[in-house]
Amino acid sequence: MGDGGVAKSFPFILRFCEMVGSIIAFSVIVEYRGSSEYNYIMFAGISGLVLSVLYMVLYMTGGKAGRGKVAAIVDSLWFVFWLAAAGVSTHLLTNDITNNSRTRASCAFCWITWFLWTLSLVVSIQETRGYEY
């Protein structure tokens, strides 16, 4: 695929957006580490970043492990992780001490990234049913 077809595919663009969302969701609150809520958001962000990069590499190399049932299982797990991270970040906004611009930005990007992982889960389920992107 020398024409860049993989990099222009919907799943690749979706994974790239997940990577960016993951980076922003955890990087704006990295100074607040020590609290279990912030640590969980950092876990979701860092692991989401690593998985997104791994998926993009698999797409570029033509690896089949990044598609189908395996991807659907992993995406469903990270769907739950990001939903929990978004819930935790929303909870942090209810406290006057933790309600600041960084936490609000992290909360917004946690919800955005959760939505992106939801789309990836839908794409993975469609690929298990034979749909080609």
Span 31-71, pLDDT tens digits: 876 788 899 999 999 999 999 999 999 988 887 767 788 89
The reported pLDDT for the residue numbered 107 is 95
* Fold category of 10-123 in CATH: Substrate Binding Domain Of Dnak; Chain:A; Domain 2 (1.20.1270)
pLDDT exceeds 80 at position 132: no
The reported pLDDT for the residue numbered 5 is 73
User: CB neighbours of 19 closer than 8 A, spacing ≥ 6?
Assistant: 48, 49, 52, 53, 56
Q: At what angle do helices 10-27 and 36-61 cross, to 10 degrees?
A: 160
Single pTM value for the model: 0.88
pLDDT band at 4 (very low <50, low <70, confident <90, very high): low
The reported pLDDT for the residue numbered 75 is 95
User: CB neighbours of 90 closer than 8 A, spacing ≥ 6?
Assistant: 107, 111
pLDDT exceeds 80 at position 128: yes
